[in-house]
Structure 1
């Protein structure tokens, strides 16, 4: 049940309060909201009278929220953002059935995107909206219905659907491969490329080859796509997922830098919050994805 109406300020009042908090003055808030300064002041005064709480402290020419109002406006800002996102979803798909999915760039582009046409054909009533997040986030503050997660089952408060294991291989440009490439020592001395979200990847890979090393340094990248291009252009050796380098290996743009045992650094999962009821679009996507997984490896 929604709280009694007397506890619910109007949206214009909330927008005025949020803008004053963010911008620090009624004049700046008025300019952003296309209102007069007196209109902003009236909105704030009306809210104070409605709630029976002082919201504004005035010092010289600036307005400041009271400590209680500071806490309140954080919740109000989240609610306003959620309402705005809901309105965008409604406008984008007025018949209903949108799914906001957080993806990882390389996996989303190279594994998921080519398969989404099949989902769209089977479920034309669902609009899938994709957005990139590199790390776990709070589903209570982000407007996502589900996310693609890599690693272990270390995301609290979510359900997991395993998608696939990721195997990585060391690759480099052909001109970079030395004559003594059968000796792993060349890799230890080579410029090694790193992904920000997997800082211990090379240490784990060397351990799997029977070599313990630490303190590996080199160029740092935030995405596989840029690290892959740097590898093709001879800037170093990279650990890249097999699904990502198949075409480059086949075309000769990259070559294996070592032929030792394969290594997996984690798994891909579809995750969604346990705190929410599963929506129909999410259920449709989850069931479809499970079907594609069951068809592996030729998904």
Structure 2
């Protein structure tokens, strides 16, 4: 039941637009409405709440103390409403949708190239995929599953091991040849991954070398950027082998360092209890495990 003091969506949109722009003219332009329509919405909202949300002076609108307080709640409310609408739109006319959170590079280089095979088994299913580095909280977020490393396990999540993570030292053939020693690798530019800055120092420690030598070199946000930079000959990448496998197979990259290094972490499928009863989740889970097992066959 809607209460008399509850604002309408049009009133909230007009209020937020005026708060951002400072005038009803600019707010109207932003919303694609007339100035009079925006003005009526704001005036009606103030009357509904019984408080002045703006201080008006010479056509300028400045938030009052009450307005500033209300804005802190109104903007997130509109954002959540928009997210809810977008989430529903992901169905795209289909009866079912599978919402996937995935590590950015794993999604781009490994999962997406294989998804056509999965969708062929479930033509009535729509995929809604988002790149996520942070842990997923299934109690507050709508994802059906997440594919991340074990350190990303979030709230309300079940865990299914997929594969252990191993790092490979790779470079373009034009930069280096296979079989370099760890000391020879350190003489080359080292490509850094900014969200996992300890990879090269840890690699140095494992090789018995000074980790302070390992922090120089260009820095990139994601492993796909590191791989692209390595292919371009900008330096040596220390990357998960599963992500480099396609570039290695094509000959764009070669293993230049010692053997691959296990990080002690794993890639895993996380999912909430509510997903266990979804037929399309079960189909995806089984398909994913088969694909993972197939790359080692």
| Same-fold call, TM cutoff 0.5 | yes
Quote the Cα distance in structure 1 between the aligned partners of 2:87 and 2:75.
Answer: 18
Given that 1:20 and 1:63 are in contact with CA atoms closer than 8 Å, whether structure 2 keeps it comes out as yes
Rounded Cα–Cα distance in structure 1 between residues aligned with 2:235 and 2:142: 38
Once the two structures are superposed, residues 70-128 of structure 1 have per-residue CA deviations (whole angstroms, 9 ceiling, x without a partner) of 34334333333333344445455234423443333321123222342344234334311
Cα offset for 1:247? 3.2
Question: Following the alignment from structure 2 to structure 1, what is the Cα–Cα distance between the partners of residues 286 and 135?
Answer: 25
- Show the counterpart of 2:216: 217
Is the counterpart of residue 57 in structure 1 residue 52 in structure 2? no
* Structure 2 match to 1:291: 286
Aligned residue for 2:217, secondary structure, equals coil
2:34 is aligned, of 29, 33, 36, to: 36
Correspondence 1:108-257 to 2 at 5 A: 108-136=107-135, 146-150=145-149, 152-153=151-152, 155=154, 157-162=155-160, 163-177=162-176, 181-214=179-212, 216-257=215-256
Query: Could you tell me whether the CA contact under 8 Å between 1:151 and 1:265 is conserved in 2?
Result: no
Q: Secondary structure in 2 aligned to 1:98?
A: strand
Separation in structure 2 between the aligned mates of residue 39 and residue 61 of structure 1, nearest angstrom: 16
Shift of 1:37: 2.5
Q: 2:83 & 2:265 partners in 1: Cα distance? A: 32
Question: In structure 1, what is the Cα distance between the partners aligned to 2:264 and 2:57?
Answer: 55
136-145 or 102-111, larger mean C-alpha shift: 136-145
Q: CA deviation at 1:241?
A: 1.8
Q: 1:147 to 1:251 in 2, by over 3 A?
A: closer
Structure 1 CA distance for aligned equivalents of residues 36 and 226 of structure 2: 54
Q: Alpha-carbon deviation of 1:213? A: 0.9
Preserved contact between residue 191 and residue 217 of structure 2 (Cα < 8 Å): yes
- Partner SS for 2:167: strand
SS of match in other structure, 2:157: strand
Give yes or no for contact 1:209–1:261 (8 Å, CA) kept in 2: no
3-state SS of 2:265 partner? strand
Residue 18 (structure 1) shift: 1.4
Question: What CA distance in whole angstroms lies between the structure 2 residues aligned with 1:140 and 1:16?
Answer: 32
Aligned to 1:278: 274
Is the counterpart of residue 12 in structure 1 residue 10 in structure 2?
Answer: yes
Unmatched tracts of structure 2, length 5 or more: none
- Residues 99 and 62 of structure 1: CA distance in aligned 2, closer, same or farther (over 3 Å): farther
1:292–1:137 distance in 2 versus 1, CA, 3 Å? closer
The whole-number CA distance in structure 1 between the counterparts of 2:111 and 2:171 is: 25
1:103 and 1:238, CA in 2 relative to 1: closer, same or farther beyond 3 A?
same
Q: CA deviation at 1:134?
A: 4.1
Distance change (3 Å), C-alpha of 1:229 and 1:290: same
CA RMSD of aligned residues (A): 3.2
Q: Deviations over 1:2-22 (max 9, x none)?
A: x64324211111110111122
Q: Report the more deviating stretch, 119-128 or 188-197.
A: 119-128
8 Å CA contact 2:190–2:218 kept in 1: the answer is yes
| Cross-structure match for 1:258 | 257
> How many Å apart are 1:217 and its aligned residue?
1.4
TM-score, normalised via structure 1 length: 0.81
